[in-house]
Structure 1
Amino acid sequence: MSPPSKPPKPILAQPSQSFSDIIFTAFSIFILVSSSPKPSSVFFQRFTPTISFPLNPRRFLSIPSMSSTTKISKKHNFPNPQALSEWLSPRLCSESFGLWGVKAGTKNVHNLWLEISEGETFLDDSVPPVRTLEVVIVRILGGGNRVLVESHQELSDGSVRDRCRPLSEKMKPGESVDLAVIRAVREELGSIIGVGNVGDVVRIVPHSYSKKVEERVSVSYPGLPACYVLHTVDALVDGLPDGEFCTEEGEEYEDSDEKKIADGAVSCKKHYWKWMDYDSV
């Protein structure tokens, strides 16, 4: 006689998923999808600026991003250099701020005020403030794989400022790279090639343009962090001497309030130039 078979186990109905569980599941899937890396397009890789970081990144951990800060302009906040100085004083290390215009090769508050008034420089409303500016760098080519370099400057206070870099100039608001190149050559080399025909003697080398962003403490303004947007081109300029030479800075301001303030700023009186091997610059 076979033993009685066990009754089959009842099939338990699975509990239906609650509405809150469905919402949680959908949200989890959304997070996974949105956080997964997206392939970069060729366009993005080609045109995204190169970012270079300082050797000691800890010095810049407190710098806010450019997109999340307020840009300060002279027009609304700094009617004169004294107002700018009063705004900067509690935001900068007093020891570093005290070196402005005192330490050889540095500039003073008058210089920074003029940069802001011309729209060449913006200050982030942060502690410390961050100086943001765009700069055009012109690598002027010569024969024998050489490039023109500014070795040093003679300043109005009698000090000498070492440079050892190609021709460079702060850009004006809305100024194109091409126009900035012409203006830079006119202002710093015009005394030797003539200012009237600069546009005829400057030729930018096609496809030589590059752009990058650098963050470092300003040499001109000790203790003030800076974000430099650098636009670099190679160019040919006719009429330059083959050896070392010197040029004089032209007058930038006419008779105006800016001219009076410029008289109190540290200015460059002479530029000293030499040719160096292209690969060493």
Structure 2
Amino acid sequence: MLRSTPLTSLWTRKSVCNKLLATVVSPRSVKLSSFNGTTSHQLQSWLESNGVDTSGYGSGLAKTISELFEETGKRESILDLEGGRALRVVRVLSLYVINEKGQVLFEEEQVLPDGRSRFRNVALSEKLIGDEDWRHAVDRAVKEELGSILPSGYKITVLEDTYKLLTHQSNSMSYPNLTTKYIIHRVSANVTDIPQEPFSTHEPRPGGRLTTKWVWRCLSPDLQTNVLTTS
């Protein structure tokens, strides 16, 4: 499914948005997690002893300790120590899916199975697993995020000359008080057969389904620096 075509695009129409600028940077190796416990209870104790108040976990839009434990078990994140405090490190593929107008596809909002909604405002993204190469995650990201609206036979063209490695550190809405460092592998791509008007996708989840609302946007400076602070 994945086709890598660094210097070409599926569309030759002049873009109505600003050109995306990027610098190629070599990927870095992934270190081991500082947390080596075997239960979610041990994880909670480790977080509390390393400066993280977990009393709000599982309330509102915050995820639970068990979800964080599962995430680390899947190697979707690691837990480190920085300055004596716990630090969550997440490697992310941020895929700028571009249409023929030069607009970028953005995830605007998620509606959870229980009816709660989360404002997102991020490009299509996927957590990388362990030291997974970002190229291997492109097809998985498109299939998981957009598969419910794409026909069979859709094509992906990755524009590898737009690749850029970014890092950003902030608090995550999912895990309050736990500083998260995002290592972002950002690259642009063309994907055929995506609706050109706002649309929604659906993914099965325990207790129902996750609905995601998508929109096309021109890439402003604010959007270029936006990262996954809700993840």
Normalising by the smaller structure, the TM-score range is 0.7 to 0.9
Equivalence for 1:72: 34
| Cα displacement (A) at 1:244 | 0.9
Equivalence for 1:218: 172
Matched, 1:187 2:187: no
Looking at both structures, which has the greater relative contact order when contacts are Cα pairs under 8 Å and sequence separation is at least 6? 2
**Bigger helix share:** 1
| Cα displacement (A) at 1:154 | 1.2
Q: Which digits, 9 at most, give the CA deviation of each residue in 1:161-184, with x for residues without a partner?
A: 111111111101232211111111
- Which runs of 5 or more residues in structure 1 are unaligned? 1-44, 50-65, 252-262
| Structure 2 counterpart of 1:108, from 37, 58, 64 | 64
Equivalence for 2:47: 88
- Which runs of 5 or more residues in structure 2 are unaligned? 1-22, 224-231
Equivalence for 1:202: 156
- SS of the aligned residue for 1:278 comes to coil
Number of corresponding residues: 198
Equivalence for 2:17: none
Equivalence for 2:211: 270
Distance in 2 of aligned mates of 1:103 and 1:92: 21
**Bigger strand share:** 2
Distance in 2 of aligned mates of 1:89 and 1:268: 32
Equivalence for 2:119: 162
| Cα displacement (A) at 1:201 | 1.2
Q: Pairwise mapping of residues 14-93 of structure 1 onto structure 2 (< 5 A)?
A: 47=25, 71-72=33-34, 77-93=36-52
The answer to whether the Cα contact below 8 Å between 2:167 and 2:183 also exists between their aligned partners in 1 is: yes
Percent identity between matched residues is: 29
Q: Which digits, 9 at most, give the CA deviation of each residue in 1:138-193, with x for residues without a partner?
A: 01101222111000111234321111111111101232211111111111111111
Distance in 2 of aligned mates of 1:228 and 1:150: 18
Distance in 1 of aligned mates of 2:145 and 2:24: 32
Equivalence for 2:228: none
TM-score after normalising by structure 2: 0.75
The answer to whether the Cα contact below 8 Å between 2:87 and 2:180 also exists between their aligned partners in 1 is: yes
Residues 156/100 of structure 1: CA separation in 2 closer, same or farther (3 Å cut): farther
The answer to whether the Cα contact below 8 Å between 2:24 and 2:161 also exists between their aligned partners in 1 is: no
| Structure 1 counterpart of 2:106, from 136, 141, 149 | 149
TM-score after normalising by structure 1: 0.63
> Pairwise CA RMSD of aligned residues?
2.8
Higher-Rg member (1/2)? 1
| Structure 2 counterpart of 1:234, from 185, 188, 212 | 188
Residues 78/250 of structure 1: CA separation in 2 closer, same or farther (3 Å cut): farther
User: After TM superposition, what 4+ stretches of structure 1 lie above 6 angstroms from structure 2?
Assistant: none
Q: Which digits, 9 at most, give the CA deviation of each residue in 1:64-94, with x for residues without a partner?
A: xx99x97235xxx332322212222233343
